[in-house]
Structure 1
Amino acid sequence: MTVSMTRRAALTGAATLPLAGAATPVLASSESQDDAGAAMPIARTFTLGEMPVTTLLDATALREGPKEIFGGNVSEEEFRKVSEENFISSEAAQFYFTPTLVETGGELVLFDTGLGQGGLPRALAAAGVTPEAIDVVVITHMHPDHIGGLMTDGAPTFPNARYVMGATEYNFWSAMDPGHRVGDLVAQNVTPLTERTTFIEDGARVASGITAVASHGHTPGHMCFMLDSGGRQLMLTADLANHYVWSFAHPDWAVSFDADKPAATQSRRQVLRMLAADRVPMIGYHMPFPAAGFVETRGDGFRYVPVSYQLMG
């Protein structure tokens, strides 16, 4: 899939990035709690064929005003009705930030690096992994909650890793004028790593059993990644759909985080339709932790079905 996106459209989406104006996130720790005070795990390992896949809770935060974020083109009444039908509040939403670690058999591959506030290293430690052990870091897109953890005190957080990211994505954000939030963070956290980076396009093979799938719209070069092992598949959907109810049940609802909303809707429908038809599980960066689930078709939209024990072996 290709998409043409103007700089103005991308800047509009970037102005409403996750956590902009939100409450301070609760960082992952051995005693992490959600905003209701409930204890939460911070690392969860699934099995895909012969490939261990571990979701890592970097942070979680409660944010008010979800209608403006996830239902910009619908009425207050419709948004409230859909929320009530799904047993969730229309006044606030819990956000989760979940990088994923994949063991290919030869390499440890980390997808996205969180907010850069210390949660990801603690989650990795809970999984028994040090930053030095990471072989490959893959960036799905360059919003701050995905690239914030690339650097620590001016040095690479993952000193032994090679890096993989979309060429379209990097080219767009690295061309921003100084003073732009995302552009400045890209210059600070991403550009210093370019000599160790492979820039990819749709269909690229990232590592053994890992293939890039273009899903542009959320950002100019947003990518999902398909994992294959032992005849089984799982897709890392990144920010394709950012809420497990609103973005699934109504994929056409305008999401403020999406820079090119028509393209994001097209990508959402295309990928979710494929996951539902082929019964392929997914891991979504902002899904309720541990962030893994299935997709089923429901009416004109979809339903997210959280994993229970299906990927345990």
Structure 2
Amino acid sequence: MTVSLSRRAALAGAAALPFAGAAAPVLAGGHGGRAEAPIAHSFKLGEMPVTTLLDTSVAREGQKAMFGVAASDEEFSQVSAENFISSDTLQFYFTPTLVDTGAELVLFDTGLGMGGIAKALTAAGVTPDQISVVVITHMHPDHIGGLMTDGAPTFPNARYVTAAAEYNFWSKMEPGNRVGDLVASNVTPLAEKTTFIDDGGSVASGITAVASFGHTPGHMCYMLESGGRQLLLTADLANHYVYSFARPDWAFSFDADAEAASASRRKVLGMLAADKVPMIGYHMPFPAAGFVEPRGEGFRYVPVSYQLMG
């Protein structure tokens, strides 16, 4: 699949990222006087421990402009009501994932860089210097913000992996582009320690890249395999557990190439539903793991309960 992404579209999308100007984030572990919520949740995929890490959670308004700009107000409200959610406000979750291959600790994405990833790793009993590999699914700020801390690599002993197409695009941005500038400060200094891969590339034993271009030029999902079982890390393939599934063809306003992103959603979600493979989505409600089933002309996200406990 190819992506026809113009630099103008990339500039516009990067300037309006839904998380760039989010007000009053709810940092994991401190929820406005309420009891602390879990910020690390472990599953078992065959012999491979998998831990989701809640970097932060943010409330936002105006989701119709993000997820249903082409829909009528009535249709958008109907989809919301059918799924027992408000059509006026939503909650975003930001969930990196830690995978233990037995030989290496592999971290997928690093959060916004507000300290949440360090807290979540601590809750999981891991320190940043223990991370062996950092995989960047794509280079939006909420995925690369935690790569650096005070100008130094947050994960000093790690090697890095990302898609060649993703880095090649963002690293060529002129100064003044928000994503390009963050790539220059957080990703480019690590380039000598980075492996740039393509579709089907191997990160480590049992971890394979799956191209899902559209949200960004080199957006990748990653298939985990262990003990005859599979789980797909879908990153930002789907950005909301209702709208992206129920109406996969609705353009998400922050997808760089809406047509390619919708095609990727349909293809990957269709595969997950047909093969009954579980997924972990970066913006799904924590702990961010679930299954996909067909529903009407789209799909339904079914959160896991105890299916991945052992």
Q: What TM-score, normalized by structure 1, do the two folds share?
A: 0.97
User: Which whole-Å CA distance do the structure 1 matches of 2:108 and 2:70 have between them?
Assistant: 31
Describe how 1:1-313 pairs up with structure 2 within 5 A. Answer: 1-29=1-29, 32-33=30-31, 37=34, 39-313=36-310
User: What CA deviation, in whole Å up to 9, does each residue of 1:270-296 have, x standing for no partner?
Assistant: 000000000000000000000000000
Where in structure 1 do 4 or more consecutive aligned residues deviate above 3 Å? 35-39
User: Which whole-Å CA distance do the structure 1 matches of 2:80 and 2:21 have between them?
Assistant: 22
Deviation at 1:36, TM superposition (A): 9.8
User: Which whole-Å CA distance do the structure 1 matches of 2:263 and 2:236 have between them?
Assistant: 14
Assess if the C-alpha contact under 8 Å between 1:150 and 1:189 holds in 2: yes
User: Which whole-Å CA distance do the structure 2 matches of 1:21 and 1:125 have between them?
Assistant: 27
User: What CA deviation, in whole Å up to 9, does each residue of 1:239-289 have, x standing for no partner?
Assistant: 000000001000011111101000000000000000000000000000000
1:296 partner amino acid: E
- Quickly say closer, same or farther: Cα 1:38–1:2, change in 2 above 3 A: farther
User: Which whole-Å CA distance do the structure 1 matches of 2:151 and 2:48 have between them?
Assistant: 33
Assess if the C-alpha contact under 8 Å between 1:11 and 1:259 holds in 2: no
Structure 2, unpaired ranges of 5+: none
Assess if the C-alpha contact under 8 Å between 2:67 and 2:253 holds in 1: yes
Assess if the C-alpha contact under 8 Å between 1:241 and 1:268 holds in 2: yes
Assess if the C-alpha contact under 8 Å between 2:42 and 2:49 holds in 1: yes
Structure 1 residue matching 2:71: 3-state secondary structure: coil
User: Which whole-Å CA distance do the structure 2 matches of 1:228 and 1:308 have between them?
Assistant: 20
User: What CA deviation, in whole Å up to 9, does each residue of 1:179-211 have, x standing for no partner?
Assistant: 110000000000000000000100001001000
Deviation at 1:24, TM superposition (A): 2.3
2:20 partner amino acid: A
Structure 1, unpaired ranges of 5+: none
Assess if the C-alpha contact under 8 Å between 2:14 and 2:177 holds in 1: no
Q: How many residues align?
A: 310
User: Which whole-Å CA distance do the structure 1 matches of 2:34 and 2:17 have between them?
Assistant: 25
User: What CA deviation, in whole Å up to 9, does each residue of 1:49-87 have, x standing for no partner?
Assistant: 000000000000100111011111111111111101110
Relative to structure 2, which stretch is displaced further, 39-48 or 222-231?
Answer: 39-48
User: What CA deviation, in whole Å up to 9, does each residue of 1:146-175 have, x standing for no partner?
Assistant: 000000000000000000001100010011
Structure 2 residue matching 1:148: 3-state secondary structure: helix
User: Which whole-Å CA distance do the structure 1 matches of 2:77 and 2:33 have between them?
Assistant: 21
Assess if the C-alpha contact under 8 Å between 2:169 and 2:217 holds in 1: yes
User: What CA deviation, in whole Å up to 9, does each residue of 1:205-248 have, x standing for no partner?
Assistant: 10010000000000010000000000000000000000000010
User: Which whole-Å CA distance do the structure 1 matches of 2:36 and 2:190 have between them?
Assistant: 36
- Quickly say closer, same or farther: Cα 1:72–1:308, change in 2 above 3 A: same
User: What CA deviation, in whole Å up to 9, does each residue of 1:16-54 have, x standing for no partner?
Assistant: 21323322212223xx32x79564210000000000000
